[in-house]
């Protein structure tokens, strides 16, 4: 659908309508002038001939057929009503007198030649001048005075132009208050764009136009409800994340205290059994060694599980050291199949505890997805402070299915939940060359951010 500017559309349509109406009126005026001129010439031709005959009868002797001295003064009265030109020839086709009635000059914009073309060259009256019945003394030719008629028609057209100009002036006078009344729409669109970007604190200001004010009232009411709902969702999501982390820490402690102690005891018993086998039952030595190997493997797996459940050193040494240890551990476990790099800018360590945990978990999940699902060879992690935000970018060169739904996995959903709870944005995009890019932007002090200034994932994270 083509978008139309209301103010310009009204101005343009009224202007086009005014010009179209003027052109129609001019066409009607010209047509009426043509019909009137042709009718006047034919209707008044015989009357003019009679007036000339009367003038000839009074100005020349009875048997004199000479028309010299004829001045057509008898036509002055009718010439004031009808603009025409009369020419008289005698019996010998010699011009006697020619005179035009109506002294107005044709304007430059409407020349006499145009009127002659409009009316037609056949708009003439040819009659005889007689002195007595049956006696012809000359011939009369009457044609329109095209210059004077053009001046009359131009006067009518000029009036139409004045009327059209008045309509256009009225159009401008209407356009100005309409533009003034609709001027708040630009501000409304700007504020809607800010809300679309995630600024839930934006509200529409009061305006003079009643219709726009009603829209603004409804919009502000919906914005208040949306802000309140988003705030409650953020608080709930933050609480759920806290509970999840607490459950992870609790589970890690239980596994370490219970299962770890049990595995340590089993390993000690296996060592004792191996010593007894060497002294008394050599046949049991392979079983004791197998128990020791399995126990050692279980302890390694337990350490990996504990590292996933509770980041080592995150609370004690901070985010930077924990990420460095995470990347180093992934490089060791990949045995060169995938190279992980980490680039951390200055100021990252000033982030809040909740933000540190979320950043760590997002990096952890992204590294797992890149290797497990994308079969990546290189994964680059970059963490920077950008103004009041913390920007995380993770690039990999793994396989990326064009038809894959990035938002469908539980890991990605968990990442979105964390970002939503902290009032940030998360986007997943395919890299032009190969692989996937994860962009995360979070407020540096997300735990203390007011919900009136936060950008929610419902707006900013929907691009994923």
pLDDT tens for 28-72 read 999 999 999 888 888 888 888 888 777 776 665 544 555 666 767
Which segment, 382-386, 442-446, 459-463, is predicted with the most confidence on average?
382-386
Residues 152 and 33 in one domain: yes
Residues 278 and 331 in one domain: no
Final residue in a domain of this structure, among 255, 283, 310: 310
Cα gap 45→126, rounded to integer Å: 8
Residues 28 and 56 in one domain: yes
- Decide the pairing of beta strands 378-386 and 339-344: parallel
Residue 390 lies in a domain: yes
Residues 357 and 416 in one domain: yes
**pLDDT for the residue numbered 23:** 93
For residue 114 the two structure tokens come to 């145009």
Cα gap 106→300, rounded to integer Å: 110
Mean of all residue pLDDT scores within the chain: 80
Residue 191 lies in a domain: no
Residue 188 lies in a domain: no
Residues 170 and 34 in one domain: yes
384 phi/psi in degrees, rounded to 5 = -135, 155
In total, how many domains does the chain have? 3
Judge whether 438 and 414 are in contact, CB under 8 Å: no
Residue 251 lies in a domain: yes
**pLDDT for the residue numbered 401:** 59
Cα gap 87→82, rounded to integer Å: 15
Higher pLDDT, 387 or 238: 387
**pLDDT for the residue numbered 335:** 83
Residue 189 lies in a domain: no
Mean pLDDT across the stretch 19-26?
A: 92
Residue 27 has pLDDT above 90, yes or no: yes
* Phi-psi label, residue 356: left if phi above 0, alpha if psi -120 to 50, beta otherwise: alpha
Residue 322 lies in a domain: yes
135 phi/psi in degrees, rounded to 5 = -110, 115
Structural element, H or E, at residue 389: strand 389-396
From 408, 407, 392, 394, select the one nearest 441 (Cα to Cα). Answer: 392
Give the count of alpha carbons within 13 A of 131, CB side only: 18
Distances (CA, A) of 422 to 237, 285, 409, 443: 9, 56, 20, 7
pTM over 0.85: no
Residues 283 and 428 in one domain: no
Residues 131 and 223 in one domain: no
For residue 281 the two structure tokens come to 């039952």
Residues 390 and 412 in one domain: yes
**pLDDT for the residue numbered 312:** 63
Residues 319 and 306 in one domain: no
Residues 290 and 322 in one domain: no
Final residue in a domain of this structure, among 310, 339, 355: 310
Final residue in a domain of this structure, among 310, 336, 361: 310
Strand order across the 84-90 sheet = 95-100, 84-90, 135-144, 125-132
Residue 356 lies in a domain: yes
pLDDT tens for 237-247 read 778 777 877 88
Of all residues in the chain, what percent are helix, strand and coil, respectively (each to 5)? Answer: 60, 15, 25
* Residue numbers of the domain that contains 208: 198-310
Beta pairing partners, 99: 86
Residues 350 and 455 in one domain: yes
**Contact residues for 198 (Cβ-Cβ < 8 A; gap 6+):** 425, 454, 455, 456, 459, 460
CATH number assigned to the domain comprising residue 435: 3.30.565.10
73 phi/psi in degrees, rounded to 5 = -70, -20
Q: What is the dihedral of CA 143, 146, 149, 155, to 10 degrees?
A: 180
User: Percent of the chain beyond pLDDT 90?
Assistant: 10
Residue 258 lies in a domain: yes
Residues 218 and 257 in one domain: yes
**pLDDT for the residue numbered 159:** 92
Helical axes 6-59 vs 112-119, angle rounded to 10°? 80
Which segment, 44-48, 292-296, 399-403, is predicted with the most confidence on average?
292-296
**pLDDT for the residue numbered 464:** 32
Beta pairing partners, 139: 89, 128
């Amino acid at each position: 659908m083509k978008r139309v500017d209301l103010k310009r559309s009204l101005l343009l349509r009224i202007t086009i309508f005014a010009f179209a109406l003027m052109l129609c009126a001019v066409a009607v005026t010209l047509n009426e002038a043509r019909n009137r001129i042709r009718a006047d010439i034919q209707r008044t031709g015989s009357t003019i001939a009679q007036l000339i005959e009367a003038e000839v009868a009074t100005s020349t002797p009875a048997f004199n057929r000479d028309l010299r001295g004829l001045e057509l003064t008898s036509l002055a009265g009718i010439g004031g009503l009808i603009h025409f030109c009369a020419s008289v020839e005698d019996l010998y086709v010699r011009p006697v007198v020619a005179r035009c009635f109506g002294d107005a000059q044709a304007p430059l914009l409407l020349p006499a030649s145009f009127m002659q073309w409009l009316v037609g060259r056949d708009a003439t009256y040819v009659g005889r001048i007689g002195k007595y019945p049956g006696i012809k003394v000359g011939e009369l030719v009457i044609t329109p005075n095209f210059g004077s008629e053009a001046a009359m028609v131009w006067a009518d057209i000029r009036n139409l132009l004045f009327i059209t100009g008045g309509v256009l002036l009225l159009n401008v006078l209407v356009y100005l208050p309409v533009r003034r009344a609709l001027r708040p729409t630009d501000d409304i669109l700007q504020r809607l764009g800010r809300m679309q970007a995630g600024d839930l604190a934006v509200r529409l200001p009061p305006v003079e136009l009643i219709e726009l004010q009603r829209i603004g009232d409804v919009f502000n009411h919906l914005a208040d409800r949306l802000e309140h709902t988003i705030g409650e969702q953020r608080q709930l999501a933050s609480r759920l994340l806290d509970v999840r982390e607490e459950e992870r820490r609790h589970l890690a402690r239980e596994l370490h205290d219970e299962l770890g102690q049990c595995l340590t005891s089993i390993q000690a018993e296996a060592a004792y059994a191996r010593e007894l086998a060497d002294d008394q039952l050599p046949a049991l030595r392979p079983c004791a060694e197998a128990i020791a190997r399995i126990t050692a493997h279980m302890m390694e797996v337990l350490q990996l599980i504990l590292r996933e459940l509770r980041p080592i050193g995150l609370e004690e040494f901070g985010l930077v050291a924990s990420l460095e240890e995470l990347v180093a551990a992934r490089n060791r476990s990949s045995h060169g199949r995938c190279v992980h790099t980490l680039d951390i800018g200055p100021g990252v360590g000033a982030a809040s505890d909740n933000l540190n945990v979320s950043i760590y978990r997002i990096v952890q999940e992204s590294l797992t997805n890149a290797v497990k699902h994308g079969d990546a060879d290189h994964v680059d992690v970059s963490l920077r402070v950008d103004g009041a935000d913390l920007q995380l970018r993770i690039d990999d060169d793994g396989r990326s299915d064009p038809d894959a739904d990035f938002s469908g996995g539980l890991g990605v959903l968990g990442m979105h939940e964390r970002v939503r709870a902290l009032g940030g944005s998360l986007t997943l995009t395919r890299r032009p060359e190969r692989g996937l890019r994860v962009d995360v932007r979070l407020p540096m002090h997300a735990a203390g951010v007011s919900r009136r200034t936060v950008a929610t994932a419902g707006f900013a994270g929907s691009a994923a």
